[in-house]
Homo-oligomer: A and B are copies of this chain.
């Protein structure tokens, strides 16, 4: 049976997972859904609803055991599974992400970079192997790469996504400002857009401003 959890729930469960790691470091051993909600700025009802998508999350009393809950979520969502990733588009943004040092502490390993500009491939200084963009399907398939960041210009985003999907990619973080259309139910896309982030911040600010 295919398990379905709505994306907002899954995203919140990942937030909870990271919070539980912080709580472990702080020495906290028990926590209620109310306290989790308060720490994350979410309603306890949402938290309990999200947890209802997970199997056997045992909450006999009012509190969850921090370590058990974290281990359970990690196991159920296979959050700690190591996965290979690549960056498509090695302009300023892509090359910044290529050298993003947080990957070294994560389970995600960047194993390839791609660009349509051969000059960039030949001159960029990095330990990661770089390839021309037309090789995306072959390299993704042969290396077993599951995750990709798209950091190409807007007009190249769709073609880039199609090449990645042809190679068998399963998750894409799209930094390009264009909307990517995909036909597959088994490829997940997360869009990052600074303008939209500004819009949400601006809405917060706007709430309490005079006309």
Indicate whether A62 reaches chain B with its CB closer than 8 angstroms. Answer: no
In the complex, the answer to whether A81 meets B7 with C-beta atoms within 8 Å is no
In the complex, the answer to whether A202 meets B81 with C-beta atoms within 8 Å is yes
In the complex, the answer to whether B202 meets A192 with C-beta atoms within 8 Å is no
Complex: how many Å from CA A3 to CA B18? 29
In the complex, the answer to whether A6 meets B42 with C-beta atoms within 8 Å is yes
In the complex, the answer to whether B171 meets A13 with C-beta atoms within 8 Å is no
Q: Produce 1/0 per residue, A190-211, CB < 8 A to B.
A: 1011111111111111111101
Indicate whether A149 reaches chain B with its CB closer than 8 angstroms. Answer: yes
In the complex, the answer to whether A106 meets B198 with C-beta atoms within 8 Å is yes
In chain A between 76 and 130, which residues have their CB closer than 8 angstroms to a CB of chain B? 76-79, 81, 83, 85, 91-93, 95-97, 99-100, 102-103, 106-108
Residue among B8, B95, B177 making CB contact with A8, cutoff 8 Å: B8
In the complex, the answer to whether A194 meets B208 with C-beta atoms within 8 Å is no
What is the minimal beta-carbon distance from A1 to any residue of chain B, in angstroms?
A: 9
In the complex, the answer to whether B85 meets A171 with C-beta atoms within 8 Å is no
Complex: how many Å from CA A102 to CA B93? 14
Could you say which residues of chain B place their CB within 8 Å of the CB of A2?
Answer: 208
Chain A residues close to B by CB (< 8 Å)? 2-3, 5-8, 10-14, 17-18, 41-43, 46, 76-79, 81, 83, 85, 91-93, 95-97, 99-100, 102-103, 106-108, 146-147, 149, 170-173, 177, 188, 190, 192-209, 211
CB-defined A-B contacts under 8 Å, sample of 12: A10-B204, A14-B203, A17-B199, A77-B202, A78-B209, A92-B96, A103-B194, A107-B202, A147-B201, A173-B194, A190-B197, A190-B201
